[in-house]
Structure 1
Amino acid sequence: MKSLTTEHQDLVRVDEVAASGHPPLLAVVGAATQVPLVDGTTRTYANLDYAASAPALEAVAARVNEVLPLYASVHRGAGYLSQVCTALYEASRQTIARFVGAREDDVAIITRNTTDSLNLLAGIVPAAADGSPGQVLVLDGEHHANLLPWGLGADRAATVLPIAETVAATLDRLADELGTRPYALVAVSGASNVTGEALPLDDVVRIAHAAGARVAVDAAQLVPHRPFSLAGSDVDYVAFSGHKTYAPFGAGALVGRRDWLDTGAPHLAGGGAVRDVRVDRTLWQLAPARHEAGSPNVLGAVALAEACDVLAALPDGALAAHEDVLRTRLVDGLAGIDGVEVVRIWPDSVDPVGVVTFTVAGHDPGLVAAYLAAEHGIGVRDGRFCAHPLLAHLGAPAGAIRASVGVGTAGEAVDRLVAALTAYLHAGPRARYEVVDGCWTVVDDTRPLLVVHGLEALAATAAQACGPTPD
């Protein structure tokens, strides 16, 4: 490996010489966190991994701290704080529903995350007239959370439709397939977690409803980046996660039409979901209680509601404009580096959100990501992003690198990434790297762990910190 040259140093410090003029849109917790580099210095962490989990808004953290002293049981408690928490929980439900433009008769279920929401929905799709499972149509470009719940394999209830080379051709393919048999549901992403692209929802809804099918939107990557309305779009169900919506406190939501939710199989069997239980029969509640057995995540719901309120209060177009500046800056910067290619699903897609995936020709994505972290304090994601069929379709079956932005991202982080990649391809990394248990790690890494209780066990081996999953 080449040693660091003076020219290399100039490249990687460009952000310090000319700081970015594009500030964050909202304050997030941890924006000033310093991380150690392999050269013994520290750097403000450049978080470009919002698509995986976004940091908490400072307003969300403050709201949780405000409510924590009031925490108590909900729904069945006579105590004063139980009454307060019940009111907070139900008010949060209303806020979350309002954030996604719920219709008057829609219902909002508080879940753990998008995956939980879509699994819930998969369990309540009505059977066909002949008693067979209700058919679901999905595209092969979906996140696994919107593929696996519907039932894949020989006995699957889902038809997985290959995406076409253009948006227009994919919509035609969708319409053609819906004409072949009765479908109960079409499940699509509101924005790809790999490229930020999406099919136009108005067209998907029009095509699906004309064929008698409902539409569910995996909005995990949509609602943190763009306004969305069930009433305005006529989408039937929407699922999203708090941890991607600046409220990482363990709550998500499924919001949509009441009839399936009132009559479908309860998502969990347990207390709170029932009206009466005897040894020979059970009477279940209607939604939302029907699907919220056990003690609900009050703090998670309150946190998600606060994030929804903060995002909804932004001036019209401010969020999209902020991300468009960052995304354009990133894509243009990457396009100027020989050997780096930004991947796209469709050449005719428009208005992608702030998620950009790219490849570096001849270089392992895991090595590039490890280099960016160890030598520049940049956090990106590498792998297949829980979208294995899509990565194969895009010609990157071994994985790629993803950079994603959000309300807490400043232009400096984008500039730092572009400069660091330029330096990597120009002069190579300074440290030596090797693969340990499937993860690229720094050889003889001397970076200290942050002083946080619970990290002591990791001090013995840095390899444990990279995690066991290949995605």
Structure 2
Amino acid sequence: MPGDAPLVYLDSGASAQKPRQVIDKIRECYETSYANVHRGVHTLGDRITIALEEARETVRQYLNAGSTEEVIFTSGTTASINTVAYGWARKVLQPGDEILLSIQEHHANFVPWQQVAQWTGAKLRLIPLTDSGELDLAAFDKLLSDRSKLLAVTAISNVLGTINPIDRLADAIHSVGGRILVDGAQSIPHGPTDVRKSKLDFFAFSGHKVYGPSGIGALYGRRELLDMMDPFLFGGNMIREVFDDHSTWADLPAKFEAGTVPIVPAIALGTALNYVAQFDQSSLHAHERAVTLRAMERLSEIPGLKILGPPASKRGPIVSFTVDGVHPHDLGELINRKGVAIRVGHHCTMPLHRHLDISSSARASFGLYNTLEEVDALVEAIHYARKIFRLA
């Protein structure tokens, strides 16, 4: 870091650092076991195929999916959501149907549904927020009707940190015959999700957020929905038979895994999920809550600093803020001089920032490796930035 300052990495919400176990697994695969999967009859091919399917089983267990056939490897959350948009929504939705979104959504869970609306004639309906940055559930209930065919919502806002009541939302959309897709990119690093208990229809996440490699993620979908969906990508591996004038598709999950999947990243994703799952989840959550609370308490002491979103009890380990008199990009550059890494910008949530009447913000997001002392380092770095701008 600049000036040999020790690194304080507070940007796990963008991409998490990787534990030694994940790095070692990647090296092991390439050094001892690499081949293509589902094709060869040789020992290496068998070995790597078994490892890949063991990783799929790990994802299944982490999500409590009913079957590995409901676990599709993708390149990440964005690809997972687009798979549902193209394969399910484009096929099912009709003119006049409604897609419900929250204003909190990352562009990856916003733009695809804009496209679906243009393709199908469906309408987007936005769920407003309360003054504290939570979903306005009373307004949501009023939006529900028999035209509500899909609710696409994040589990945890990547800006406000708001923890959304997924179980309640799922019950509500199901009561009018609709489906729910949950963007789990920000929730997946903080412990397993029970897709069956929460009655989710689709769940999308990325590996690099959960201490795994980039370029890999997964889509969970209920079996009956995946069966009726059209593939999103076409080519090798996803076919059953190819004729001169048509083709038929392979069974799940291969139907949605055209070409060669990211083999080693998928295997390392399984390692990353096992890494998170090994910890006592109550202790892990308590640690992350303590770090988040410390951040909100210390940041609130800084003159001119405004924290965005709900109180600590209603948010995940994400704290976004603005500082009067300092543009977020300048703030990020200055505190980087002190070795502190945060995210600045609109965080792929332009509609939310427009709603908040700001163009950008600074965001500190915490992982299981962050400490209370690192929060203090962030605060000291912000004080340094304010002095540079002669605000202190």
TM-score normalized by the length of structure 1: 0.78
Conserved? CA contact 2:103–2:129, under 8 Å: no
* 1:199 Cα deviation from its structure 2 partner: 2.0
Cα 1:128–1:94 shift into 2, 3 Å: closer
* 1:63 Cα deviation from its structure 2 partner: 1.7
Distance across 1 between alignment mates of 2:204 and 2:9: 25
Cα 1:127–1:239 shift into 2, 3 Å: closer
* 1:112 Cα deviation from its structure 2 partner: 0.4
Question: Which ranges of structure 1 fall in alignment gaps of 5 or more residues?
Answer: 1-34, 430-471
* 1:316 Cα deviation from its structure 2 partner: 2.9
* 1:215 Cα deviation from its structure 2 partner: 1.1
297-306 vs 420-429, greater mean Cα deviation: 420-429
Distance across 2 between alignment mates of 1:127 and 1:118: 12
Conserved? CA contact 1:126–1:134, under 8 Å: no
Conserved? CA contact 1:124–1:260, under 8 Å: no
Identical pairs, percent: 33
Q: Residue 375 of structure 2 is aligned with which of 378, 400, 414? A: 414
* 1:427 Cα deviation from its structure 2 partner: 4.9
Q: Residue 425 of structure 1 is aligned with which of 361, 383, 386? A: 386
Cα 1:133–1:54 shift into 2, 3 Å: farther
Distance across 2 between alignment mates of 1:87 and 1:390: 43
- Which amino acid in 2 is paired with 1:405? F
Aligned position for 1:18: none
* 1:171 Cα deviation from its structure 2 partner: 1.6
Aligned position for 2:4: 42
Task: Name the SS of the counterpart of 2:159 in structure 1.
Answer: coil
Distance across 2 between alignment mates of 1:130 and 1:56: 40
Distance across 2 between alignment mates of 1:242 and 1:284: 27
Cα 1:106–1:395 shift into 2, 3 Å: farther
Does the alignment pair 1:64 with 2:30? no
Question: Which ranges of structure 2 fall in alignment gaps of 5 or more residues?
Answer: none
Q: Residue 115 of structure 1 is aligned with which of 60, 72, 78? A: 78
Task: Name the SS of the counterpart of 1:125 in structure 2.
Answer: helix
Distance across 1 between alignment mates of 2:233 and 2:130: 40
Cα 1:130–1:369 shift into 2, 3 Å: closer
- Which amino acid in 2 is paired with 1:102? A
Conserved? CA contact 2:129–2:136, under 8 Å: yes
Does the alignment pair 1:356 with 2:322? no
51-60 vs 159-168, greater mean Cα deviation: 159-168
Deviations 1:312-344 (A, max 9, x none): 121131221111111111111110000111011
Quick check: which one's helix share is greater? 2
Aligned position for 2:285: 320
Distance across 2 between alignment mates of 1:224 and 1:248: 13
Aligned position for 2:232: 267
145-154 vs 328-337, greater mean Cα deviation: 145-154
Conserved? CA contact 2:94–2:122, under 8 Å: no
Q: Residue 265 of structure 2 is aligned with which of 300, 313, 326? A: 300
1:379-418 equivalent positions in 2, closer than 5 A: 379-396=341-358, 398-418=359-379
Structure with bigger gyration radius: 1
Deviations 1:181-239 (A, max 9, x none): 42332111000010211321121011111111111110000010243111221112110
Cα 1:428–1:157 shift into 2, 3 Å: same
Count of aligned residue pairs for this structure pair: 386
Task: Name the SS of the counterpart of 2:49 in structure 1.
Answer: helix
Aligned position for 2:59: 96
Cα 1:393–1:78 shift into 2, 3 Å: same
* 1:96 Cα deviation from its structure 2 partner: 0.7
Task: Name the SS of the counterpart of 2:84 in structure 1.
Answer: helix
Conserved? CA contact 2:135–2:164, under 8 Å: no
* 1:128 Cα deviation from its structure 2 partner: 7.8
Distance across 2 between alignment mates of 1:95 and 1:379: 31
Cα 1:263–1:328 shift into 2, 3 Å: same
Conserved? CA contact 1:126–1:133, under 8 Å: no
TM-score normalized by the length of structure 2: 0.93
CA RMSD after TM alignment: 2.2
Distance across 1 between alignment mates of 2:244 and 2:97: 31
Aligned position for 1:367: 330
Deviations 1:251-302 (A, max 9, x none): 1000120122122111211000000011211111122101101011111111
* 1:164 Cα deviation from its structure 2 partner: 3.0
- Which amino acid in 1 is paired with 2:16? A
